[in-house]
Amino acid sequence: MYTGKIRQILLITDGCSNQGEDPIAMAALAKEQGITVNVIGVMEQDVIDEKGMTEIEGIAASGGGVSQIVYAKQLSQTVQMVTRKAMNQTIQGVVNRELQQILGRSQTMEDLPPEKRGEVMEVVDELGETVDLEVLILVDTSASMKQKLETVKEALLDLSLSLTARTGNNHFSVFVFPGKKNPVEKLLDWTPKLQSLTSIFSQLSTGGITPTGPALRTALASFEEKRSLRSLLSNDDESYFEESV
């Protein structure tokens, strides 16, 4: 069985970026490095404007991931659903590539008769259960997010609950933007458990600009750091699932 690793960025925001590089370009860069970018747009009563909406969909599209706009109340359920869906998409991408190698260039799962597809799906399900997952969570802490941070915390703890029920390993890291001093700040370094968030999250201050692009760039750097650190410790090559469309 192929044991690779799935790497994702989960961006939680409530609107438009207003500083630094284009987040859509940064998301495209992530995808090139085999990292999927998913975006969740959180609403309160207010509606996310057209511009914010376009940006959210744009980031997910160029990041090869999933986007969803939700009311703060439904955040928990959505965060885990989006993460899971994106993970399955990535696995399906990999399985499809393997199929193409076996069956010939233009063949994908949809070209198989329904009976055969079921067997392939079992492989996809199995991989979803056992694959290692790295999720970097980027939380927008601009002023308008203040009321929603408690809900975001709940949703992240809930995500951890869902993912740790799997057999495969999980690694999480959390960044906020803007930070106290820098545009982007690391809140939690790579860890298998998100529980430690509870205390850190209550001390968060909100305010200022929304540097979504720089936040994504920092996230990519963090993945790179993690990879090089691990290759120092062990010599074996890491294999990553990469998105194919």
What is the contact mask toward another protein in residues 191 to 220, using x (rule: CB under 8 A)?
------------------------------
Amino acid at 213: G
How far apart are CB 55 and another protein at their closest, in Å? Answer: 13
**Pair type for strands 170-177 and 132-140:** parallel
**Region of 6-14, 17-25, 27-35, 103-111 interacting with another protein (CB under 8 A):** 103-111
Q: Which is nearer to another protein, 2 or 207 (CB)?
A: 2
Q: Which is nearer to another protein, 58 or 214 (CB)?
A: 58
CA separation (Å) from 157 to 132, 195, 197, 218?
18, 6, 8, 23
Q: Which of 8, 13, 36, 76 binds another protein (CB under 8 A)?
A: 76
How far apart are CB 78 and another protein at their closest, in Å? Answer: 8
Q: Decide if residue 158 touches another protein (CB under 8 A).
A: yes
Q: Which is nearer to another protein, 6 or 184 (CB)?
A: 6
Q: Decide if residue 83 touches another protein (CB under 8 A).
A: no
